[in-house]
Amino acid sequence: MNPVIRKLQISVVQHSRALDQATSLLSRLNISVQHPYQGSLASANARQYRSMPTHGIGRYKYLLPREAPKKKKERKQMKKIKNPTDTEYGTLNVKVSGYDMVLVEHYMQYVHNLCNRLKIKVDESYALPTKSTEVMLMPEQGTKMYVDAILKTHERVIQLSQLNAALCPIFMEVLLKNQPEGVQLSVKQHTEADFLLRFKARPELEGLLAKMN
Average pLDDT over residues 104-116: 93
Banded pLDDT at 25 (limits 50, 70, 90): low
Tell me what pLDDT residue 93 has.
92
165 domain-assigned: yes
27 and 105 in one domain?
no
Q: Within a domain: residue 49?
A: no
- The confidence band for 31, taking pLDDT boundaries of 50, 70 and 90, is very low
Q: Are residues 27 and 120 in the same domain?
A: no
The answer to whether residue 179 is domain-embedded is yes
pLDDT at position 41, please? Answer: 45
Give me the chain's average pLDDT, please: 77
Widest CA span of the chain, in angstroms? 119
Task: Answer yes or no: do 30 and 97 share one domain.
Answer: no
208 within a domain of the structure (yes/no)? no
Q: CB-based contacts of 155: which residues, under 8 Å, 6+ apart? A: 95, 96, 97, 104, 127, 128, 130, 131
189 lies in the same domain as 115: yes
The answer to whether residues 190 and 102 belong to one domain is yes
**What is the model's pLDDT at position 86?**
86
Residues 99 and 166 in one domain: yes
User: Regarding predicted confidence, which is higher, 121 or 82?
Assistant: 121
Residue 37 has pLDDT above 80, yes or no: no
CATH of the domain at 160: 3.30.70.600
| pLDDT score, position 103 | 92
pLDDT in the model for residue 210: 83
Is there a domain that residue 190 lies in? yes
Per-residue pLDDT for 177 more than 90?
yes
Q: Is residue 66 part of a domain?
A: no
**What is the model's pLDDT at position 29?**
54
Predicted local distance difference test score (pLDDT) of residue 51: 58
Residue 84 lies in a domain: no
Note the pLDDT of residue 44.
47
- Over the Cα atoms of the chain, what is R_g? 39
Task: Please count the structural domains in the chain.
Answer: 2
Identify the pLDDT of residue 14: 61
pLDDT at 104: 92
pLDDT band at 33 (very low <50, low <70, confident <90, very high): very low
97, 108 contact by CB (below 8 A): no
Task: Note down the domain range covering 176.
Answer: 92-199
pTM of the model: 0.57
pLDDT digits (tens, 9 = 90+) for 41-67: 444 455 554 556 666 666 666 666 777
| 69 pLDDT tier (thresholds 50, 70, 90) | confident
Kindly state whether residue 206 falls inside one of the protein's structural domains.
Answer: no
| Confidence bin at 200 (pLDDT 50/70/90) | confident
Cα dihedral 81/82/88/91 (nearest 10): -20
Q: Residue 129 phi/psi, 5° resolution? A: -60, 140
